[in-house]
Amino acid sequence: MTEPSWRVLNRAMWDERVPFHLSSRLYDLPRFKAGALSLRAHEIADLGDVSGKELIHLQCHFGKDTLSWARLGARVTGLDFSEAAVKAAAALAREIGVDARFVTADVYDAPAALGQRTFDIVYTGVGALCWLLDMERWAKVVFDLLRPGGQLYL
C-alpha cells in the first residue's frame, strides 16, 4: 500500500526536528546527561516502583523519557517512526550507559515490529496522541502490547 502523503510529511517534519531538539533549551540535554530525569513528578508517583518491569514507550522521540524510566529501573523499549529520532535515542543510551532498545516503526505497526512481544507498561508521553488519526486502532495496539494485568500510562 502506498504511504499517505500526510504521513510522509509528518515523519519528515519529525526527522528534521531531531537535531534542533537535541540542542534545544527545551530538551536540556546537558542536564539530562548529568543524571536528571525528564519525567514529570506525577508520572513517577502514578506508576510507582517500575524496577524490573518491561516498559514500551510509544512515540519515544529521541528517548529522554524512555531512558528516564530505565534510570528508574524499568527494562525499556522505545518506538518511533522517525529513523533520525531512533538513531539519536540509541546514541544517547550508549553515551549515558543506559541499557535500552529502540525500534523504528509506525505506532500502528508496533505489535508486529516488536514480534508480538508484550509488556507490563505501555507509556506514551507529552505531545504524542495529537499526531494520530485513529484512536480506536491505537487502543487495539495498546491492548495487543499489554500482558494480562499490564498498565497503560497516558
Ligand X SMILES: C[S@@+](CC[C@H](N)C(=O)[O-])C[C@H]1O[C@@H](n2cnc3c(N)ncnc32)[C@H](O)[C@@H]1O
* Binding-site ranges for ligand X (CB under 6 A): 10, 14, 59, 61, 64-65, 80-82, 85, 106-107, 125-128, 131-132
DSSP states of 82-110: -HHHHHHHHHHHHHHT--EEEEE--GGGH
In the bound state with ligand X, the residue whose beta carbon lies nearer, of 70 and 85, is 85
- Minimum distance, C-beta of residue 79 to ligand X, in the bound complex (Å): 7
Indicate the residue among 88 and 150 with the shorter CB distance to ligand X.
Answer: 88
User: Minimal distance in Å, beta carbon 148 to ligand X?
Assistant: 25
Q: Indicate the residue among 6 and 148 with the shorter CB distance to ligand X.
A: 6
CB 69 within 8 A of CB 50: yes
Q: Which residue, 69 or 81, is less far from ligand X as judged by CB?
A: 81
Minimum CB separation of residue 149 from ligand X in Å reads 25
Beta strands in the chain (DSSP E): 54-58, 75-80, 100-104, 119-124, 146-153
In whole angstroms, the minimum distance from the beta carbon of 1 to ligand X comes to 15
Terminal-residue alpha carbon distance, the chain: 30
Measured from the Cβ of residue 122, the count of other Cβ atoms closer than 10 Å reads 22
Which helix or strand (DSSP H or E) is residue 22 part of?
helix 5-22
Total count of residues recorded for the chain: 154
Cβ-based nearer residue to ligand X, 10 or 118? 10
CB of 82 to ligand X, least distance (A): 4
